Amino acid sequence: MLDETYLKQLFAANLKRAIRDKGMTQQDFAQKAAMAQETVSRLVNGKSSPGWDTLARLCQALEVEPAALFRNEKESAYTDAEIELFKKFRHFQKAFEKAS
């Protein structure tokens, strides 16, 4: 059942994973997203929920779609290997675009 507590926990876990996957600390991420480190900490720990503006800044800093922060990985249509391939493709695609 979807309730506020479940969504906060899901969002927090996905945000934490996304920050880690980008190789950043919460402090590094807070600077990139132009927000207070305390705000990021509260979001990662599920103690607060983002507003629309904050969600947009988080997604922009992480370079992900909002749905990625609410996805239940256990119910993902993709395997871990496929997700890793997508990440590598995006990395190489960005490097190619930057070089062009």
DSSP-assigned states of every residue in 69-97: GT--GGG-SS-HHHHHHHHHHHHHHHHHH
Fold of 4-74: 434 Repressor (Amino-terminal Domain) (1.10.260)
pTM of the model: 0.71
pLDDT in tens, 69-87: 988 876 555 566 667 777 8
Residue 45 near residue 12 (C-beta atoms within 8 A) = yes
Domain boundaries, the chain: 4-74
The residue type of 19 is I
- pLDDT tens, position by position, 10-30: 999 999 999 999 999 999 999
Burial classification of residue 40, based on how many CB atoms lie within 10 Å of its CB (0-12 exposed, 13-18 middle, 19 or more buried): buried
